[in-house]
Amino acid sequence: MKRIAFTLLMFGASVLFLNAQDAASKNAASTSQAEIKMDKLEHDYGEIMQGDNGECEFTVTNVGKEPLIINNCMGSCGCTVPQCPTEPILPGKSAKIKVKYDTNRVGGIYKTVTVNSNAKNGVITLTIKGNVKAKPVEEAFPQNPTSKDAPTEKKG
């Protein structure tokens, strides 16, 4: 019986401790003075051809009062690769988030990039969209039609 009571007591203490740690980390994030502002939240490629340049940029500005630290940038799939600044962005300064989409994949594009930082306005989600059209198929040996005015070989 003592073992059960001790186990329950330890479990309860662990839950309280973890809850307190979670609240402390939420409180620290909400008291941050860094604030992120994006020039745009969406990039529309429109119609692009297969194999074209699938790179775009988003400008991030720190409009807060302390350095903005981008902890993580993650694309929604392997075809969307973000490149985020690794250095802190000082108040009033800007930096670029570069996103590269693999345009060898034909069809509609609707992908996201999640940006995690110490900003008080939380997680930012960037979107890229558009449509990748397939390249026209080239004939290996194009046939040249004979013009009606061209001389033809006579068989005789």
Higher pLDDT, 24 or 68: 68
Q: Domains of the chain: which residue ranges?
A: 33-133
pLDDT in tens, 31-55: 889 999 999 999 999 999 999 999 9
More confident residue, 102 or 19: 102
pTM for this entry: 0.68
- CATH T-level assignment (fold) for domain 33-133: Immunoglobulin-like (2.60.40)
Residue 156 has pLDDT above 70, yes or no: no
Mean pLDDT across 141-153 = 63
Length of the chain: 156
Beta strands across the sheet bearing 107-117: 42-49, 124-133, 107-117, 70-75
Q: What is the mean pLDDT of the chain?
A: 83
User: Of the ranges 6-15, 49-58, 137-146, which is most confident?
Assistant: 49-58
User: Position of tokens 């979107």?
Assistant: 127
Spatial CB neighbours of 48, under 8 Å, sequence gap ≥ 6: 54, 103, 130, 131, 132, 133
